[in-house]
Amino acid sequence: MSSKIKDILMWDESLFRNPEVFDLSYIPEVFKFRDNEIEAISHNVKPLIKGDLPTNTIILGPTGTGKTTSVKLLFREINEVSNEVIPVYINCQFHYREFSIMSQIFRGIFGYPPVETGKPLTTLYEYTMGELQKKGKRLLVALDDVDFLFHVNIAESILYKILRAHEIFPGVKTGIIGIVTDNAFSFKVSEKIRTVFMPNEVHFKPYSQSTISEILRYRCDIGLYPGVMDNDVLDKISEITFDRGDLRLGIRAIKEAGMLAELGSRKKITTEDVEKAIERISSSLHVENVFDGLSKTDKKVLKVIAENSGKFTKANDFFNILADEMSYELFRKATTKLENLKIVDIQRAQSRGRGKQNLIHLRVPKEAILEIIKE
Q: Residues at the annotated binding site for ATP?
A: 65-69, 207, 219
Distance CA 267, CA 13 (A): 8
Determine the angle formed by the axes of helices 231-244 and 209-223, rounding to 10 degrees: 130
Nearest to residue 226, comparing CAs of 269, 261, 196, 191? 269
Distance CA 225, CA 268 (A): 10
Q: Tell me if 282 sits within 8 A of 245, measured CB to CB.
A: no
DSSP 64: T
Report residue 356: phi and psi, to 5°.
Answer: -85, 115
Q: Tell me if 280 sits within 8 A of 256, measured CB to CB.
A: yes
Q: Which helix (H) or strand (E) holds 140?
A: strand 138-144
Distance CA 312, CA 290 (A): 25
Distance CA 225, CA 222 (A): 8
Determine the angle formed by the axes of helices 328-340 and 296-308, rounding to 10 degrees: 80
Kindly provide the b/e burial profile for residues 287-316, where b requires at least 16 CB atoms within 10 angstroms of the residue's own CB: bbbbbeebeebbbbbbbbbbeebeeebebe
Q: Tell me if 176 sits within 8 A of 56, measured CB to CB.
A: yes
Report residue 346: phi and psi, to 5°.
Answer: -115, 115
Sheet holding 138-144, edge to edge: 85-91, 138-144, 174-180, 57-60, 200-203
- Tell me the binding residues: 65-69, 207, 219
